[in-house]
Amino acid sequence: MERLPILSLITFSPLVGAVILFLWGNASARAVRWIALVASGVSFALSLAMLLRFDPGRAGMQFTESFEWLPELGIAYRLGVDGISAPLVGLTTLLTLIAVIASWDPIRHRVREYYITLLLLATGMLGVFVSLDLFLFYVFWEIVLIPMALIIGIWGSANRVYAAVKFFLYTLAGSLLMLVGIVALYQEYFQQTGIRTLDVLELAQGTYSSTFQFWTFLAFFLAFAIKVPMWPFHTWLPDAHVEAPTAGSVILAGVLLKMGGYGFLRFNLPLFPEATQRWAPAIVVLSVIAILYGALMALVQRDFKKLVAYSSVSHMGFVTLGIFALNQQGLSGAMVVMLSHGFVTSALFLLVGVLYERAHTRELAAFGGLARNMPIFAAFFGFFALASLGLPGLSGFVGEFLTLLGGFRSYRWAGVLGTVVVILAAWYMLRVYQRVALVRAPGEPPDPDDPELRMAITQGVPPVAGGGDTDQHTPDPRTFPDVTWREALTLAPLALLTLWIGVYPLPVLDMIELSVRAILAAVTGESM
Amino acid sequence: MTELSATHFLLLSAALFIIGMVGVLTRRNILVIFMCIELMLNAVNVSLIGFAWELHQLTGQVFALFVIAIAAAEAVVGLGIVMALTRRADTVDIDELRQLRE
Amino acid sequence: MDWQRLLVSYFVGFVLLNVLLGLMAYMTWFERRVLARMQHRVGPNRTGPFGLLQPIADGIKLLAKEDIVPANADRLVFLVAPLLSFALAPLGAAVIPFGESLHLFGLEIPLLVADINVAVLYVLALGSIGVYGIILGGYASGNRYSLLGALRSTAQVISYELVLGLSLVGVFILAGSFSLQDILREQQRVLVIGPLTLPNWYILSQPLAFALFLIAAVAETNRAPFDLPEAETELVAGYFTEYSGFRFSFYFLAEYINMIVVSLLAGTLFVGGIDGPFADGVWWLALKALFFLFFYVWLRATLPRFRYDQLMGLAWKVLLPLALLNIGLTGLVRLWGIGAL
Amino acid sequence: MSLQVLIFSLLACVSILGALGVVIARNPVHSAIGLVLSFLNVAAIYLIARAEFLAVVQVIVYAGAVIVLVVFVTMLVHPDDLPEFHGRRPLRIVTGLVLGVALLLEVAAAVLTRSLSGAPGPWTDEAVAAVGGNTQALGQTLYSDYMLAIQLTALLLLAATIGAIVLARPEAVSERVAAARRTLTISLAHPRGLDQPERPPALPRPSDGQVKPAGSGRPIVLARSANEFTEQPAWGEWRTP
Amino acid sequence: MERTVDWLVVIPLAPLLAAVINFLFGKWWIRHRAHWIAVPAVGVSFLTSIVAAWTVLSRHERLHQPLYTWIRAGEFHVPVELVADQLTVVMLLVVTGVSFLVHVYSIGYMHHDPGYYRFFAWLPLFVFSMVMLVLANNFLVLFVFWEAVGLCSYLLIGFWFRRRSAAEAAKKAFVVNRIGDFGFALGIMLLFTSLRTLDYHAVFEAIPQLSSGTVTAIALLLFTGAIGKSAQLPLFVWLPDAMEGPTPVSALIHAATMVTAGIFMVARAHPIFLASPIALWVVAVIGALTAFVAATIATTQFDIKRVVAYSTVSQLGYMALALGVGAWIPAMFHLLTHAFFKALLFLGSGAVMHAMHDELDMRRMGGLKRWMPLTYWTFVIGAAANAGIVPLAGFWSKDEILVGAWVGGAPLLALVGLVAAFFTALYMFRAVFLTFHGQPRFDPHELHPHDPPATMAVPLVILAIGAAVTGFLGVPPETGWIHHALEPVFESATHHKVSLSLTLGMALASTLVALAGLWTAHAAYVRGTISPAAVAERLGPLYRLAANGWYFDVFYQRSVVRPLDAAANWLWRTVDVGIIDGAVNGSARIVALTAQMWRRLQTGLVANYALAIALGTVLLVGIYLAFGSTLFR
């Protein structure tokens, strides 16, 4: 059947935009933005069509495309999505679109280069999710690295070069290990069957010795663990997030981290079932550490973005916990957490960006009482903060509960320790919400009807000044205008999706279900 | 050794090549080094033509032709570099040209 | 082995060389006379009838002069350079066919010193080697004027040699050979176009190439209006400022021999060489060469000297593209078979 | 020993002498003369090997163009201040000679102990003559079997030409490169240049009563009339009226 | 017995729609008309609840409405279904009824607030959440709305977000609740891992299969949730602080409905608790202790709302005690009556605050009876009901609890309850006397206290009537209307035969205790025969203990919050930045240093490079000559 190569179209339409921008040397900033918008919009629309036509009743790959590329080496251009990658493709295109819109005003320098980089990044990310050939996958995996490092390193804030280099080297170290793993796997499969192939699905059919599995698993694992990032490979993340521009953070948190989780699901589990079982307890330990550690770190951050970044570490800990719990709830939950984290954390970064645009600082101490002059901002922020702390009815809860349930089923202690984080998450998220949106601006006196003022008058207790100690002089938060319609446009779809996943996650869960079941069957060796 | 054979060409080629190499190694003037490199390339041509002649092939000549073309290209670029270098560093002494270090 | 042929060639060459030297000597006389006429002067007329003995007197004078080597000079090179120039100059004539073979004493004597199948390239190669005479002479003098003259000359000669070579490519394409014999043979054919019967001279089919060749040849021989290397007003006398006596005469000789060789070459390549009405023969070639030599003098008398940048600009920006255009056109014509002349 | 070998040996000897001259001569122009000598003899050797076209090309390209260029450049760059006039490096000469001798021995050993083992090709003298000579044969081979290679070579020469122009005219080219960079380059520099945009130093206010010193320390004096202006010395001491 | 209907969803849907509309369009469009949306919606909800209650109670059938499947992952299957049985409808009536009244009251109370629309968005949202909590058919959905009411509580406590105290209180409420939820969630997970289902019915069926250890663990974990939500010891600290919210909120959420969610949940899950005597014992002990501790604290507070708040904690303790001793129906009965009189008390104190311009300190009130008779009388009814004065609502329900405790095998706990009852009467009437009796301790010329407007007065009156008469739902004891209504739910629970003499005796005892408290309060604050200051002086440490809330807050601050902060800070600065990141940067530095060393090989001298090339050539050719035949064939 001659079908539309929809996955290729999705993947490469941003690239087309990038090429147009590249060739059109003297495009005005306005034209550049519109071109980027159209390119990412087309990609998004196509991915929506793809998701709508996706058949959740089939476990295997759908919309597959394949043609030989380097047949002597067994390298082919193979694309396809299943229930695991399809939602992530949708997430990626959506966040790319949002990133394009979110960069509309904040990026004022080297606009054309910026959007070229962004679109290139989009193609790379989409390629990672749709490619079924290890070679292709690796290529896309590495393609992602460079634009992201550029975005951090060029359009970032003060310490950006350090962050960019750290991000680049850290993740590159991981992916090189993965390359070693890929080559080893390729060779091993060739020696066993005499077939040279890099087709993931075919490689998964092979049986490998346990020692081989053990080490190759490790090679793949490290690449993905750094990307996720798991404790203790997480230290690039706060730096990268803090220095990246808003859209960069959005993409980084929303999509790049998912590539790690996706890698586990797509490669580590089906390819090395035995090693997965052997490594799982250790990884679960790391995951639980990450969950708690990230939350504790978030508790003491003074930088808004760093706080969100550490909360990402915590959330991604749920993902790995769910995956290596190795049961249906855990895996499905991990997928939902990935999606949810994509929406929620991206939105939080957008919100930080909104503030940064106005205050040019991310110090929490510089803010306060924003709910009065920025009610829409406060509403969005509150919404996403609640989603982030796992309030039921919003997307965070579904995933977290499923992963914790999965973890609890497999490792009781892991579930218990992981659940502790619901307290910590509430604590740090509400703390920062109060800090930023509630009470009063720094230095602002209490309102006339405030009991604090009454206490001050009647008992001589001086009111606690709002805000905290900041080194630099920052603008008064009371003068900040509320979110612009464009900013609201980036936030609203994320809010709707967050609510949708929270209230009616069934379509997503159904989409994931069979694919996850197939992976589980591969790992545990049970039939479906 | 009584009849002319490829061996003669080869020995001549070797001699020229090694003289060129020694020149490259020992001289300080970048232009002389340049000439020595040309000498080495030419030496290679000698052996190519020798083989071509011995074996009734034209391939050797063809390749010699390419070598000449490439040598010409190399000369043009190399001399351009020398010009630029002397314009900047005011010397042709390779012991003083250390830009490669940084 | 054909020792005989070698000997015959040697003999022919010897004769040719002597003829050339003689011609050269009277070329100077010819030039001075013609130039003088053009400038409403008389010219040399005291030494012998019509001043015909003037070249001999000049030669004796030069040979009798002291051979001065400047203290600053690179002695060996200084001494060798003019010899090089002089030695290379007549070699070009060796490949020019002066007619069909003669049969004397039971021997076949070709009126040609050497029939090389890369004859034209050989001439070009000689031209490029000839540069060394100039550049080494200029360098060895240890004199800035000389050096500058030499550099100018080198750049000029290299540039125009390129034009020269490329202008000939059209001829090569039509003739399908580098050999002058072949080229000549091609031109001896008769071209019949309708009612016209024309000789197949390449001046007709390659007019552009001919023009280019002529210009380039003038420049190649450092003659006016391209005589920049020896521009007296700017560079004293260019690369041979420091030369005197017979070494100077070598350069002088080389220049005139070059002129003659180039004229012969032009005559052979474009206007049919020995081909002509009534009876083919060396006299036709001589006539044609004489015309070109006259042309040289004519130019000298008529045109002022080029400025240096104009000179180079002309070569690279005008002549070279035209030469390439000519090649392209000729190639196309040949490819489409129209030129199956 | 045949005549051929004799001629060959003669030419080879001169050629090697020329090559030695290249290496030994202190003056690069002498080196160049040696090189030309060597090349011419090698060209003659080509003639022995029935490679007439190559022989001529060797002369035209190597002797006539490349070496002329070298000599040209030699004369352009400080002809009186050549490195070898400041002494040589004995250690380097010794190492070079040792290496050279070692390689020579190795190659000689290789050449003399082995024999040619290729199959003879089709281009016998008769075959070459049949197509009209060496040039024609070479042309046919070149433009059929080596079509792509020759086109690539052409491209290479073009690139080299452009490269040489770029290298030789840096001042003109830098502007052109900058213009190209403006349209086609993604720069890695930060858009704002510096992290903290450096503020220009505050200009002295008119009320400060100070005159900003010029580069040489001379005060800038505003001329009130053309006469006054011409009276100021362009260089040197400031005259107090 | 079970009937599937399709109108049950109206009960939650109406307030949800109101909330959404008010939230989205309130600020710019609806503004001060917000109540026109919220109040009718809750009214509809209330009427539908009545219909549901009538259907369920009269026909003895369960109503059931499946909505959709929420989560499906493997065998983990969570449908959203609405189920109304007897327990549910009683709760529904309480929730929607009180909510309706509070909504009406809020029209007047919140009238001048700039966040009026917001208030009328959050309040219906709470109603929705609470109703869904009650109607849920499985533990996870219960948990979802459990958290949702927590959210509403957060939003409403922090309603005046510009006040630091309000923001802090809201955060504290949420976080402390989360501690309870942590246990609750674990309980649900354990339940699922053990039984592979979360559906009430299926779970209760399967309980006997479980080992007693597991059941106890599940029960205790679930009860942790209840501790948090229903403000039991040791997690009650959030509730008094929650008084920073507007008073209607306190009335509705922190007295009448939300805090009883814990009680409701335990009652709902009673088969699990019944299977674990240890868990029941824990519930009872914690309940009794909470009742006592909170009562003592309430006695020492001066903030009128705090008094009422601690009273709530104390009353919730009673309910927990009832649950623990197996007196399920009395617990629910007390829940019902408590809803009325506590809502009344809060609304009454709200009226006082309204009149006193947000003054909360009873030491600056006094003599208000004169200006606010309606408020006074309704407040007295509420206080008396709370104190358990015959024949008001509180008397009947509390009496049943004490009886239940006595016969349930915990006479000691019943005695604790009695002691607490003394304090209850004491602090309730202390509040009444301090507020309404005596001379005004404020300047009447500046403040002109007056009775509230009709929208506030009508709910007060209705609630007062409710507080007065709802007790009769449980009369006669053990066989009242309420008992019959709830009987089917708790049929599996064991029933103790209660003798009439015991009932009467306990009634007498509690009445005496209550009157003693009343007398003490009168003596201290009206007649002045007892000096409260002197008593406080005499009791010394004990007084300070009570006045400072038994130092729970201090303890948490010192032993949990600050150490955790410090530990996190240490982890960040030492472990994260120092060790982990240090290792990363350190390895980078090592590479850089090594590279610096290698760099020396790069001399920049072309001659050296050429030499290296030549050397390499010589070596390669040598190798080729020596080993070529073996290496390269």
pLDDT digits (tens, 9 = 90+) for A257-283: 999 999 999 998 888 988 898 899 999
- Same domain flag for D163 and D81: no
Facing residue for D183 by CB, picked from A25, A108, A117: A25
Q: Residue D186: its pLDDT value, please?
A: 46
CATH at residue B50: 1.10.287.3510
Picking from D106, D109, D110, the nearest residue to E618 by CB comes out as: D106
The pLDDT tens digits of the residues spanning E346-362 come to 888 888 888 887 778 88
B25 within some domain: yes
Note whether E touches D: 3 CB pairs or more under 8 A.
yes
Token pair 């050539």: residue: E617
Give the SS3 label for residue A394: coil
Work out the mean pLDDT of chain E and round it to a whole number: 86
| Residue finishing a domain among D87, D105, D136 | D87
Cα separation, C213 vs C267, in Å, equals 11
Pairing of strands E62-73, C107-109: unpaired
Q: Which of left, alpha, beta for C337 (phi over 0: left; psi -120 to 50: alpha)?
A: left
Predicted pLDDT of residue D165: 79
Q: What is the pLDDT of residue C111?
A: 67
Q: Reduced to 3 DSSP states, what percent helix, strand and coil does chain A have, rounded to the nearest 5?
A: 75, 5, 20
The pLDDT-based confidence of B87 (bands split at 50, 70, 90) is: confident
**A46-55, A284-293, D202-211, E78-87: least confident range:** D202-211
Reading phi first (left if > 0) and then psi (alpha if -120 to 50, else beta), residue E208 is in alpha
Q: Tally the domains of chain C.
A: 1
Find chains touching chain C: ≥3 CB pairs under 8 Å: D
The mean pLDDT value for E399-414 works out to: 84
- The answer on D150 and D78 residing in a single domain is no
Strand, coil or helix: E177: helix
Q: Which residues of D touch C118 (CB under 8 A)?
A: 52-53, 55-56, 134-135
Task: Give residue for tokens 């036709």.
Answer: C284
Note whether residue C270 is domain-resident.
yes
Residues with Cβ within 8 Å of D199's Cβ and at least 6 positions away in sequence, in order, are: none
Q: Is the pLDDT of residue D213 over 50?
A: no
Does C103 fall in a domain?
Answer: no
pLDDT in tens, E213-238: 899 999 999 999 999 998 888 888 88
Does any CB of chain E come closer than 8 Å to the CB of residue D147?
Answer: no
Q: Decide if E174 touches A, using CB distance below 8 A.
A: yes
If phi > 0 it is left, if psi is from -120 to 50 it is alpha, else beta; for residue E512 that is alpha
d(CA E436, CA E526): 10
Nearest Cα of chain C lies from the Cα of D19 at a distance, in angstroms, of 17
- The closest of E66, E291, E317, E264 to E146, measured between CA atoms, is E264
In what helix (H) or strand (E) does residue A81 lie, and over which residues does it extend?
Answer: strand A75-81
ipTM of this complex prediction, to 2 decimal places: 0.65
- If you write DSSP's letter for every residue of chain B in order, what string do you get? --S--HHHHHHHHHHHHHHHHHHHHH--BHHHHHHHHHHHHHHHHHHHHHHHHHHT-SHHHHHHHHHHHHHHHHHHHHHHHHHHHHHHH---BTTT--GGG-
Largest CA distance in chain A: 89
Residues of D in contact with E624 (CB under 8 A): 110
Which chain D residues are Cβ-neighbours of B91 within 8 angstroms? 78, 83
**Nearest of E382, E603, E419 to residue E514 by alpha carbon:** E419
Partner-chain contact C151 D63, CB within 8 Å = no
More confident residue, C19 or A430: A430
Contact call for residues A514 and A83 (beta carbons, < 8 A)? yes
Residue from the list D182, D184, D191 with its beta carbon closest to the beta carbon of A109: D191
Handedness of CA C105, C106, C111, C117 (dihedral sign): negative
At residue E187 the predicted structure's pLDDT band, cuts being 50, 70 and 90, is very high
Residue B41 has pLDDT above 80, yes or no: yes
From E185, E360, E569, residue closest to A300, measured CB to CB: E569
Residue of C nearest to D60 (CA): C125
The owner of tokens 């059938």 is E61
pLDDT for the residue D33:
87
- What amino acid occupies position C140? A
Q: Out of A36-50, B60-74, E24-38, which region has the weakest mean confidence (pLDDT)?
A: E24-38
The minimum CA-CA distance between E601 and chain B, rounded to whole Å, is 9
Which residue in chain E has the smallest CA separation from B20?
E614
pLDDT in tens, E189-214: 999 998 888 888 888 888 888 888 89
Least confident of B58-67, D4-13, D161-170, E563-572: D161-170
Q: Look at the block and give the residue holding tokens 């982890």.
A: E571
For D8-57, what is each residue's pLDDT tens digit? 889 999 999 999 998 888 888 888 889 988 998 998 898 888 888 888 88
pLDDT-derived band at E411 (thresholds 50, 70, 90) equals: confident
- C-alpha distance from residue A257 to each of A154, A264, C228, D132 (Å): 21, 12, 73, 72
Alpha-carbon span E622 to E620, nearest angstrom: 5
Given an 8 Å threshold on Cβ–Cβ distance, is C139 in contact with D71? yes
Domain that holds residue C239: 69-96+116-335
Give domain status of residue C10, yes or no.
Answer: no
E552 touching A, CB under 8 A? Answer: no
Question: How many whole angstroms from its chain centre is CA D173?
Answer: 18
E43 and E100 in contact (C-beta within 8 Å)? yes
Residue range E83-99: mean pLDDT, rounded: 89
CA dist B79 and B84 (Å) reads 8
Q: Is the pLDDT of residue D238 over 80?
A: no
Give domain status of residue D80, yes or no.
yes
Nearest C-alpha neighbor of E100 from the set E358, E463, E583, E522: E463
Task: Select from E312, E311, E225 the least CA-distant residue to E266.
Answer: E225
pTM: 0.74
Average pLDDT (D213-237) is: 48
Instruction: Please write the tens of the pLDDT for every residue from C109-157.
Output: 676 767 777 888 888 888 888 888 888 888 888 777 778 778 877 888 8
pLDDT at A298 > cutoff 60: yes
Query: Which of D46, D92, D115 to mutate to probe the B interface, most B CBs <10 Å?
Result: D46
Bigger pLDDT: A119 vs A201: A119
Helix (H, G, I), strand (E, B), or coil: what is residue E72?
Answer: strand
Torsion over CA of E226, E229, E231 and E235, rounded to 10 degrees? 80
How many domains does chain D contain in total? 2
Residue numbers in A near E76 (CB within 8 A) = 328-329, 402, 405
Flag whether D47 is in a domain: yes
How many structural domains comprise chain B?
Answer: 1
DSSP A84: T
How far apart are alpha carbons D110 and A150 in whole angstroms?
54
Distances in whole angstroms, Cα of residue E372 to Cα of each of E435, E448, E466, E554: 11, 10, 20, 38
Q: What is the average per-residue pLDDT within A392-418?
A: 90
**E369-385: per-residue pLDDT in tens?**
888 888 889 999 999 88
Residue D45 falls inside a structural domain: yes
Residue A42's contacts (CB-CB under 8 Å, 6 or more residues apart) are A13
When comparing pLDDT for A450 and E524, which is higher? Answer: E524
- Mutation site, B17, B38, B46, B74, interface D, largest D CB count within 10 A: B38
Q: Is C6 exposed, middle or buried (0-12, 13-18, 19+ CB in 10 A)?
A: exposed
Q: What SS3 state is found at E67?
A: strand
The range of the structural domain enclosing residue B87 comes to: 6-93
| The pLDDT of residue D235 | 46
Please check whether residue C20 lies inside any domain of the structure: no
Sign of the Cα torsion A197, A199, A204, A208 reads: positive
* Coil, helix or strand at residue A63: strand
Helices E606-631 and B30-55: crossing angle, nearest 10°?
Answer: 20
Amino acid found at C56: I
Residue C43: both structure tokens together = 């010219």
Domain range for D25 is 1-87
